[in-house]
Amino acid sequence: MPAPRVFILRHGETEWSLSGQHTGVTDIPLTENGEKRVRATGRALVGNDRLIVPKRLTHVYVSPRKRAQRTFELLNLGFEDGALPWKAHGLVEEAQPQATQGDNSSSERHCRAPIQITEDIREWDYGEYEGITSAEIRKRRKEAGLSEQWDIWTDGCPGGESPEDVTRRLDRLISDIRSTYQEPHMSSTSSVATPGTGDVLVVGHGHILRAFAMRWVGKTLAEGPTFLMEAGGVGTLSYEHNSINEPAILLGGAFQVEDPEREIAEARKD
């Protein structure tokens, strides 16, 4: 059985992601183009033969912000009506031409994983820097007699969160994912039964998901990420050698296909 994965999904485009304004607690919606792009991501990456297989998900974590919740809705994983722990922010599917054979139809998607809203994956609290750009931050710091070389990964945000604050809540979330949803699937001696295959989806924001990826592999935030995450982008985390003690960033996650003979063989091993 392949190692469980964690899919990290950044919310789609907003007016502030376009302008570069830091968006933490401000609850702004996706742009029209942002919604279109997330729908396209869902069509491309979600399905029984795609990167994210809905029926294999064990748990879903979503930020409290509506831009993240709307992004999750638009991914269209195939949840039943009433499954969302919030009031839907809009329709999921646009009117489409009748599907032809071979299309990745949303009607074939079915997911029963619990959906949890968690503050642990909300965006970094930018404090005094909420709603302003990096250029404006440097200008303000210069006027205040501070160093213009501001780095959120080491300096944090005045009136907001420090890197240590963010690390604590992310480590708590990572521990929960591993101990509750993934280690049971990786241990043949575990008696804990959970649905799916241990795959987890985390829907959040740019800075916090980059920080999440660093903490996943044991890097401190002060080391700084050398990777980016676009609005509406998807990343994948997993484990090397199918070992809970070897977390890794999966640079190239392959699409999934049904293999009944292999599944039967794996079941016999258990």
The mean per-residue pLDDT over the stretch 171-184 comes to 97
Arithmetic mean of pLDDT over the chain: 90
What average pLDDT does range 31-50 have in this prediction? 96
Q: Binding residue per annotation — 41? A: no
SS3 at position 107: helix
pTM for this predicted structure: 0.89
Indicate which residues carry an active-site annotation: 11, 94
Among 162, 266, 177, smallest CA distance to 221 is for 162
Q: Per residue in 112-168, pLDDT tens?
A: 999 999 999 999 999 999 999 999 999 999 999 988 889 999 999 999 999 999 999
Judge whether residue 232 has pLDDT over 50.
Answer: yes
- pLDDT for the residue numbered 98: 45
Mean pLDDT confidence for 170-199: 83
Whole-angstrom Cα distance, residue 84 to residue 115? Answer: 7
**Sign of the torsion formed by the C-alpha atoms of 34, 40, 45 and 47:** positive
Q: Give mean pLDDT, residues 208-235.
A: 97
Confidence of residue 97 (pLDDT cuts 50, 70, 90): very low
Residue 58 is labelled as binding a ligand: no
**24: annotated binding-site residue?**
yes
Q: What angle do CA 190, 191, 192 make, to 5 degrees?
A: 95
Structure confidence at residue 99 (pLDDT): 45
Measured CA to CA, the distance from residue 207 to residue 126 in angstroms comes to 10
Closest of 113, 116, 122 to residue 66, by C-alpha: 122
| pLDDT given for residue 189 in this prediction | 56
Give the pLDDT score at 225: 93
Distance (Å, whole) CA 213 – CA 47: 24
Domains of the chain by range and CATH? 14-88+106-231 (3.40.50.1240)
Mean pLDDT of 75-94: 92
Nearest CA among 92, 114, 112, 84 for reference residue 35: 92
